[in-house]
């Protein structure tokens, strides 16, 4: 159960990320916000401090509290990610996430090809075998697919990359739910589905890592994510 300060952070945060409060806008004064939301000035100040740590606003006595540029936002904050995902008008956000994946996951695959231990290779192989067995079963495929990418990520042994991609995946799961309506009439899904074609795309990555071919692992992971990006671009074009 959220306390009143946390509830207010959510209310104001959503209004900022959805554009109800636009970039550069000066928010009402503490006294006004206190009256509007029926809370004490202390609660208002606590809430504004929380929004400030997220990079959404900046406060000072002379200028008041101003909404900051989107480039200032702490995008890896899960509250910020959640609010952005809830914005029906932010249809490009999933595309932006995919572009970040394209920059990171191929590197993770190349590092896995170089650094994976025999135990890591066994985990990647086990996940791939589960993918083979999951053809036609979306639930089993989703689980095996997550484990496949996760095992490759862990084998990169790059803690910063592991943490960043994990955060992205949480957002991607939510994004997938938000975009199902947009893609239901589209012949291709941007998400990996339990088909032979999808299995082959994963097979190429798997085989490259098994023979420790860093360049090939990089290219095959990039091919997979580039396909996702291409399909998303077509979906957005068709629903604009």
Question: Under a CB-based contact definition with an 8 Å cutoff, are residues 186 and 167 in contact?
Answer: no
Domain(s) labelled CATH 1.10.10.10 in the chain stretch across 4-72
Q: How far is it, in rounded angstroms, from Cα 108 to Cα 128?
A: 17
User: In the 8-state DSSP scheme, what is residue 29?
Assistant: P
Phi, psi of 66 (to 5 degrees): -110, 145
Q: Digits of tens for pLDDT over the chain (240 positions)? A: 568 889 999 999 999 998 999 999 999 999 999 999 999 999 999 999 999 999 999 998 788 999 999 999 998 888 898 888 777 776 677 788 888 889 999 999 999 999 999 999 999 999 999 999 998 887 888 888 889 999 999 999 999 999 988 887 777 766 555 554 555 555 555 555 668 888 999 999 999 999 999 999 999 999 999 988 887 787 767 655
Instruction: Answer whether 135's CB lies under 8 Å from 199's CB.
Output: yes
pLDDT value of residue 17: 92
- What letters, b where the CB count within 10 A reaches 16 and e where it falls short, cover 121-159? bebbeebbebbeebeeeeeebbebbebbbbbbbbbbbbe
Task: Please determine, looking at this structure, whether the domain spanning 91-238 carries the CATH number 3.40.50.2300.
Answer: no
- Residue 180: what pLDDT? 46
Q: Where in the chain is the domain with CATH 1.20.120.530?
A: 91-238
Assigned fold of 4-72 = Arc Repressor Mutant, subunit A (1.10.10)
The token duo for 197 is 């074609």
Contact indicator for 208, 216 with CB cutoff of 8 Å: yes
**pLDDT number for residue 81:** 85
Which pLDDT belongs to residue 184? 52
């Amino acid at each position: 159960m959220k306390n009143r300060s946390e509830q207010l952070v959510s209310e104001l945060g959503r209004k900022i990320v959805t554009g109800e409060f636009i970039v550069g806008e000066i928010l009402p004064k503490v006294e006004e916000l206190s009256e509007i939301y029926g809370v004490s000035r202390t609660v208002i100040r606590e809430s504004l401090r929380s929004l400030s740590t997220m990079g959404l606003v900046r406060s000072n006595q002379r200028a008041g509290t101003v909404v900051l540029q989107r480039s200032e936002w702490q995008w890896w904050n899960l509250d910020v990610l959640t609010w952005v995902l809830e914005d029906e008008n932010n249809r490009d956000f999933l595309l932006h996430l995919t572009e970040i994946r394209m920059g990171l996951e191929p590197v993770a695959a190349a590092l896995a090809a170089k650094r994976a231990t025999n135990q890591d290779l066994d985990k990647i192989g086990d996940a791939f075998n589960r993918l083979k067995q999951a053809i036609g079963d979306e639930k089993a495929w989703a689980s095996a697919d997550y484990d496949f990418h996760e095992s490759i990520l862990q084998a990169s042994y790059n803690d910063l990359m592991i943490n960043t991609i994990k955060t992205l995946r949480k957002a991607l799961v939510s994004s997938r739910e938000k975009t199902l309506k947009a893609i239901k009439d589209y012949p291709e899904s941007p998400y990996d589905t339990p088909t032979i074609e999808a299995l082959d795309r994963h097979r190429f990555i798997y085989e490259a890592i098994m023979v420790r071919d860093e360049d090939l692992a990089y290219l095959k992971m990039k091919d997979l994510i580039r396909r996702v990006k291409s399909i998303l671009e077509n979906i957005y074009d068709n629903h604009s």
